[in-house]
Amino acid sequence: MKNQQVCPPSPRPLLDSTFPDFPSSSASQIIFINDWYHDTTDTIVNSLLSSQGYNSSFVAPSPQSGLVNGAAIYNCRFAEPGLTGEQKAQRDMPELRFPPDARVRLRFVNAGAHPVNWVSVDEHELYIIEADNTPTLPVPVHRISVNVAHRYSGVLLTSGRRIGDSFYLRAQINTACFGAGFPDLDPQTPLIFRIADEGHRLAKTLPRSRDWNDPTTGNCTDLDETVVVQHAPPQAEQISVFNSSRIGPLTTTDEAGLSDGISFLEWTLNNITYENFAYTPLLHQIVRGEDPNTGRIALITAWNVETVDIVIQNLNGPEHPFHLHGKPFWIMARSQGSVGPETIASLDLNTYNPLLRDTLGLPSGEWVLIGLVADVPGVHAFHCHIVFHQAQGLFGALMIQPDVIRKLQDPGGELPGALALLCAQGNPNVIDPGRRGRLRKRLFDLPHLDLLHRHSKTSTTTSPQPTHTVVHAQQHDKLHDATIRSGVGECS
């Protein structure tokens, strides 16, 4: 059995001036990685949000296959009874061809729903030159750990290879990141790279290349974050906290979790599980001058153009790939355990060479401090990029300059007509339209963990007083006028 999809066109080659210490690429190719489930996302999510769970569990499920550029091989002996199909083999898979003596830029994109993938090319080091659109110093590695939503460029050198040579690209799912079983999953998806010039007709022989010996399971960690040289502001004007945890059962028989008072799992940020009121988005509320309901979303507010540090703590859960819309951030410090306000103020931050990106993996029981310049007004989503965790509420927002956002109003004080019409036909009180009705006890009525930081459940927009911990401050020059951007502003 095989699934194929169309991939985007390859990007333009890198220019010599972009990376002066590394030769420009002479060819480029997108390597699109994702995971494949035999049930639809709607089926899985609706089950996770019910008291029955998905396969009697509330943890993110494991896939049936990993895909590379839309293709994979599934062992049909694991297929459900009654299903028929032709068993495919490696020779049925598409292959990629590159010229000899070339520098090939491989752009790895993990567009999956859940797992971390290790990508490698047999017997060839990959030179990492970009991470999440950030140029990096060329770093040779055997494998690249590509988390959900991460993008990397790795340069493959085909020097010394002859026409007809072949070797495998391997995308290996890190199964140690799973909380559920994976009985029918082959974690590795190989794709053949063959050396050929345009017009060559070559037999589809299988490579005899050897994989690297580096491990492909273990901690769900990202690329070493010291591979770039940049500079970040030495101090922030405010420091805020997103604490990630959970409430409820992991399985339908988890008595300890069921004692929390709800019958399915909910992920939380600052003790709040996100509720998607899709027909009255947060952006619309702010434009109308309303106060956001901070019992429905964990919210950090930057009132001015300022430098903001955010401490993210994974207090109780698996590894989460956290993603921020609208603004890339510097990764300035991370460690195991947890930190409090008195500790944050004295942290030794890496301001010389922090990696700039928009997604990071945070293992269980660890914290990370990220820094950014809040200069793009808007409501920017912050969430775990495991889609099942998003659906279970692991979602917050960074709101930048709400006073500027309100200027989107027309002269009559209303939303612009086209924007208002997007949501005019829906019921503003409906949570997650299209999903099953969910009976839940509100999280702020339940006993909570003693977390470092709690958001106020009162207004955050009527007064320019932040609801998050301000640890230290330093003046920062305003950068430039910015346009409104929204990560929590579209109707479903």
Tens of pLDDT, residue by residue over 449-461, are 233 332 322 233 3
pLDDT at position 486 over 60: no
CA dihedral sign of residues 407, 412, 414, 419: negative
Give the pLDDT confidence of 291-311 residue by residue, as tens digits: 887 788 999 999 999 999 999
Higher pLDDT, 440 or 113: 113
**Which tens digit of pLDDT belongs to each residue from 122-133?**
999 999 999 998
Looking at domain 238-486, its CATH architecture is Sandwich (2.60)
pLDDT of residue 410: 67
Q: How far apart are CA 360 and CA 358, in angstroms?
A: 7
Contact 381, 397 (CB under 8 A): yes
Distance CA 176, CA 116 (A): 9
Q: How many helices (H) and strands (E) does the chain have?
A: 7, 23
Alpha carbon distance 221, 223 (integer Å): 7
Q: How large is the average pLDDT for residues 360-368? A: 94
pLDDT in tens, 15-29: 333 444 455 557 899
Distance, in Å, from the CA atom of 287 to the CA atom of 362, rounded to the nearest integer, reads: 33
pLDDT tens for each residue of 236-282 = 788 899 999 999 999 999 999 999 888 999 999 999 999 888 888 88
* Per-residue DSSP letter, 321: E
| Strands 306-314 and 238-247, sheet pairing | parallel
> Hey, where are the domains in the chain?
27-195, 238-486
Q: Is 27-195's fold the same as 238-486's? A: yes
Question: What distance in Å separates the CA atoms of residue 327 and residue 484, rounded to the nearest whole number?
Answer: 12
Chain mean position to CA 412: 39
- Residue 380 pLDDT > 90, yes or no? yes
- pLDDT value of residue 428: 81
The average confidence (pLDDT) of the chain is 81
Whole-model pTM: value is: 0.79
Q: CATH classification of 27-195, choosing from 3.40.50.720, 3.90.1150.10, 2.60.40.420, 3.40.50.300?
A: 2.60.40.420
